[in-house]
């Protein structure tokens, strides 16, 4: 069972779209408004991200199993945190738009994917890594906490139901 993470390619767009659709449906099943009002990721958004070199996929047994974007900060909503960040880094990496293939849950793939993204962030020169999630997304909160991310406060994203729990991990 080979699992690895790489930059997304335009040829991944069909698989990315399927994961987006499943992730939006899964969040709805969890009674979360996150990504439910046309504010979730889209095929077009990921096509742009692929062309910009900031989209990544996890491949599990030869199939795209996870999607995410790595975006160098600073990022506006993160600068207005109701809380505080550790350190005083003006540059950091944010992990956004994480989605996993819902047909293969329970294998620890999300945690492995995020670990890979941490390594990629370090390779790009970033040791301050930030993420956020909607308060009802307890699964992602658990994954982040298991990886050592610390809850730092609330940020407001410019979307309906934009309140997000902000997390940070500083790597050596």
Alpha helices of the chain — where are they, by DSSP H? 13-29, 43-52, 76-79, 109-123, 138-146
What SS3 string covers 138-161? Answer: HHHHHHHHHCCCEEEEEEECCCCC
pLDDT of residue 106: 87
Using one digit for the tens of pLDDT, what is the confidence trace for 33-90? Answer: 999 988 899 999 999 999 999 999 999 999 999 999 999 989 999 999 999 999 877 8
pLDDT of residue 90: 84
Distances (CA, A) of 85 to 81, 149, 164: 8, 12, 15
pLDDT of residue 39: 87
pLDDT of residue 88: 78
- Give strand pairing partners of 67: 57, 99
- Could you tell me the two tokens for 113? 């994917």
pLDDT of residue 8: 98
pTM: 0.95
Residue 90 DSSP code: S
Q: Which sequence spans correspond to the domains of the chain?
A: 3-170
Using one digit for the tens of pLDDT, what is the confidence trace for 96-143? Answer: 999 999 899 889 999 999 999 999 999 999 999 999 999 999 999 999
**Residues with Cβ within 8 Å of residue 106, at least 6 apart in sequence:** none
CATH hierarchy code of domain 3-170: 3.40.630.30
**Half-sphere exposure at residue 118, Cβ-oriented, CA atoms within 13 angstroms:** 19
């Amino acid at each position: 069972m080979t699992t690895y993470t790489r930059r997304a390619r335009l040829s991944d767009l069909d698989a990315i779209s399927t994961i987006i659709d499943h992730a939006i449906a899964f969040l709805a099943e969890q009674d979360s408004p996150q990504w439910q009002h046309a504010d979730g990721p889209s095929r077009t958004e990921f096509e742009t991200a692929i062309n910009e070199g900031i989209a990544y996929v996890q491949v599990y047994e030869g199939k795209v199993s996870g999607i995410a974007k790595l975006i160098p900060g600073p990022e506006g909503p993160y600068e207005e945190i109701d809380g505080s960040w550790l350190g005083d880094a003006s540059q950091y990496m944010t992990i956004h738009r994480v989605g996993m293939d819902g047909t293969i849950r329970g294998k620890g793939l999300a945690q492995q994917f995020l670990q890979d993204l941490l390594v990629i962030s370090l390779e790009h020169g970033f040791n301050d890594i930030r993420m956020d999630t909607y308060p009802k997304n307890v699964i992602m909160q658990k994954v982040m906490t298991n990886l050592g991310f610390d809850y730092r406060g609330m940020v407001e994203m410019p979307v309906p139901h934009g309140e997000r729990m902000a997390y940070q991990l500083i790597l050596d």
